[in-house]
């Protein structure tokens, strides 16, 4: 599969809500997931840490709706937009609008997921 | 201005259709603008080449509508989405959906604009 095909498959799985399956297929063992804010959760290094971050997120957010747009492709990178309505545990319902920039290695695995937040 | 403020100002100018003014304020002299496709137009290096690329684009496309969304910010980078209806000179009207990933240097100037195309 070329980057366009990988990006399309990854994004299609996200559109179906199959985020874990998308990760299982495409995370590299060396994957890094980066959030813009500082602090402990800003960088998850390695597949296990990335998966644990995902599990933490799902356990701590009630998801009301997710809209996934993309992918947008350039070479070994692609962009996906996520528009969500969620309620963090013990918090108030909020709208999130963010994009993820994904970088593939030569074998077609995702080595970096970098989130950008809309304001 | 911090990256968040620069991203907000750049994007606000784009939303107002002031693409040239956005460039005048924020392009670095060493700016590079990259398109996903190959060929002569895939990389414009240096502010003059980037400005010439913009002039070429406006001279060769009739723009019917532009929707600008963003910015989405992470550190020294930000993302802007452009959804357009255009007619290339001598061609047929088409819908374009793309995102630009912008990278700022330490002085707050844009050193790289990298376009990603939606399909």
Read off the pTM: 0.94
| B49 at A interface, C-beta within 8 A | no
Contact B36 A73 (CB under 8 A): yes
A71 vs A60: CA distance, rounded Å = 27
Residue-wise pLDDT for B39-82, tens only, equals: 777 999 999 999 999 899 999 999 999 999 999 999 999 999 99
CB A99 within 8 A of CB B79: yes
pLDDT recorded at residue B40 = 74
Best of A71, A72, A73, A98 to substitute, by most chain B Cβ atoms within 10 angstroms, is A72
pLDDT in tens, B83-108: 999 999 999 999 999 999 999 999 99
**Chosen from B116, B117, B118, B119 to mutate, greatest number of chain A CBs within 10 A:** B116
Question: Do residues A40 and A20 make contact, with C-beta atoms less than 8 angstroms apart?
Answer: no
- ipTM given for this complex: 0.92
Percent of chain B with pLDDT over 90: 89
- Contact criterion met (CB below 8 Å) for A59 and A52: no
Q: Does residue A117 carry a pLDDT above 90?
A: yes
Q: How confident is the model at residue A41 (pLDDT cuts 50, 70, 90)?
A: confident
Q: Distance from A37 to chain B by nearest Cα, in Å?
A: 8
Q: Tell me, what's the pLDDT at B39?
A: 78
Question: Is residue A119 over pLDDT 90?
Answer: no
Q: A115: nearest CA in chain B?
A: B74
Which band of pLDDT confidence, cut at 50, 70 and 90, is reported for residue B38? confident
Q: CA-to-CA distance for A101 and A79, rounded, in angstroms?
A: 5
Are the Cβ atoms of B99 and A98 closer than 8 angstroms? no
B37 pLDDT more than 90: no
In this structure, are residues B94 and B86 in contact, taking their beta carbons and an 8 Å threshold? yes
A15 CB within 8 Å of a chain B CB:
no
Mean pLDDT for all residues in chain B: 95
Encode A8-52 in three state secondary structure: HHHHHHHHCCCHHHHHHHHEEEEEEEECCCCCHHHEEECHHHHHH
A34 and chain B: CB distance < 8 Å anywhere? yes
What value does the mean pLDDT of chain A take? 95
- pLDDT of A69 > 80? The answer is yes
Alpha helices (runs of H) in B1-119, residue ranges in sequence order: 3-15, 19-26, 47-60
């Amino acid at each position: 599969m070329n980057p366009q095909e990988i990006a399309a498959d990854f994004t299609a799985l996200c559109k179906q809500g199959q985020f874990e399956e998308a990760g299982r297929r495409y995370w590299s063992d060396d994957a890094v997931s980066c959030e813009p804010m500082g602090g402990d959760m800003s960088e998850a290094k390695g597949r296990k840490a990335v998966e644990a971050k995902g599990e933490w997120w799902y356990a701590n957010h009630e998801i009301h709706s997710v809209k996934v747009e993309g992918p947008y492709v350039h070479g070994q990178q692609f962009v996906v937009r996520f528009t969500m309505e969620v309620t963090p545990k013990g918090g108030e319902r909020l709208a999130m609008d963010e994009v993820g920039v994904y970088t593939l290695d030569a074998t077609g695995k995702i080595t970096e997921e970098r989130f950008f937040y809309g304001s």
